[in-house]
Amino acid sequence: MAQVSRLPEFVSRNPGSIEVICGPMFSGKTEELIRRLRRAQIARQRVFCFKPSRDTRYADADIVSHSAQHLSSIPVSSAVEIESFLNNQSLLPDVLGIDEVQFFDDRIVGIADAMAGQGVRVIVAGLDLDYRAEPFGPMPRLLAISESVTKVLAVCIACGAPASRSQRVAHDCRVDAQSKDRVLVGATDAYEARCRRCFIDGVDTPSLPNVN
Ligand SMILES: [Zn+2]
């Protein structure tokens, strides 16, 4: 009888991957990230989740979506901090989640790539565009090297169409003038989801009444 040969090492080993969840504000990116990480936890996989420590909205050490879903995470001030945290672990995670990834510098790209190269499933969520509708920080490179991209859309506050843009609204100009941030995290009333047609480039427009 023929012996059943074992799968060669290169087939059985997890090849690792990068998944990007992106879209404008209020599109449910964090919710989708939490959903994927939860499923991995249910499957008893080792899951780590990081977020930039500047994201102080809601709970401190949790990532929390606008719809109040939450998952415990590790706040870090830089991409390098994620790297040193992982280097201090005896075991790599099966799944590595990073929320608000657009706020990290380009080193996050190399870290995500290196982790995926070691068999980790890396899932990142972030804004693909800033409030001027320009590609945001490391997002273009992350999108390019990823295996999977999920674009989620919000609902345009002006017309109800699917929205891909984050419009900065005028009543928060005072706050923005004091801040060098491209997006003020947590100031959910300072931005509105808009479709292409209703988005006004580079202008702080008056807030519009919600269509709902
Ligand atoms: Zn619209």
> In CATH, what number is assigned to the domain containing residue 82?
3.40.50.300
168: in domain:
no
Within a domain: 114: yes
Planar angle of CA 110, 114, 115, nearest 5 degrees: 120
Cα 152 to middle of ligand 1, angstroms: 16
Residue 83 lies in a domain: yes
Domain coverage including residue 60: 13-152
pLDDT of residue 179: 52
The catalytic residues are 100
Task: Name the CA radius of gyration of the chain, rounded.
Answer: 19
Predicted pLDDT at 70: 72
User: Does residue 189 surpass a pLDDT of 90?
Assistant: no
Predicted confidence (pLDDT) at residue 175 exceeds the cutoff of 70: no
* pLDDT given at position 160: 98
Count of positions (residues) in the chain = 212
Residue 169 confidence class, pLDDT cut points 50, 70, 90: confident
Give the dihedral sign, CA 197/203/206/207. positive
Q: What is the arrangement of strands in the sheet containing 121-127, beginning at the earlier edge strand?
A: 74-76, 47-52, 95-98, 121-127, 17-23, 148-151
Any idea what DSSP says for residue 169?
B
For the segment 57-80, the average pLDDT, to the nearest whole number, is 76
User: What single string gives the DSSP state of each residue in 110-165?
Assistant: HHHHHHHHTT-EEEEEEESB-TTSPBPTTHHHHHHH-SEEEE--EE-TTT-SEE-E
* pLDDT score at 201: 86
* Distance from C-alpha of 7 to C-alpha of 9, rounded to nearest angstrom: 6
| Between 160 and 173, residue with greater pLDDT | 160
Report if residue 90 sits inside a domain: yes
pTM, two decimal places: 0.81
The yes-or-no verdict on residue 81 having pLDDT over 90 is yes
Residue 51 lies in a domain: yes
CA 133–ligand 1 middle distance (angstroms): 15
Report the pLDDT value the prediction gives residue 174, as an integer from 0 to 100: 43
Write the pLDDT tens digit of every residue in 27-63.
999 999 999 999 999 999 999 999 999 755 555 667 7
Q: Report the mean per-residue pLDDT for the chain.
A: 85
Q: What is the pLDDT of residue 6?
A: 66
In a domain, 112, yes or no: yes
Strands 191-194 and 47-52: unpaired
Q: Ligand 1 centroid to 200 CA: how many Å?
A: 10
Please list the alpha-helical segments (H only) found in 13-119: 29-42, 79-87, 107-117
Percent of the chain with pLDDT over 70: 73
Dig out the tokens for 166 from the structure.
């984050």
Between the CA of 161 and the centroid of ligand 1 the distance, in Å, is 5
- Whether residue 17 has pLDDT greater than 60: yes
The stretch 167-192 carries a mean pLDDT of 59
The count of domains in the chain is 1
How many Å apart are CA 143 and CA 125, to the nearest integer?
11
Is the pLDDT at 104 greater than 70? The verdict is yes
Cα–Cα separations (whole angstroms), residue 181 to 98, 99, 103, 130: 19, 17, 10, 10
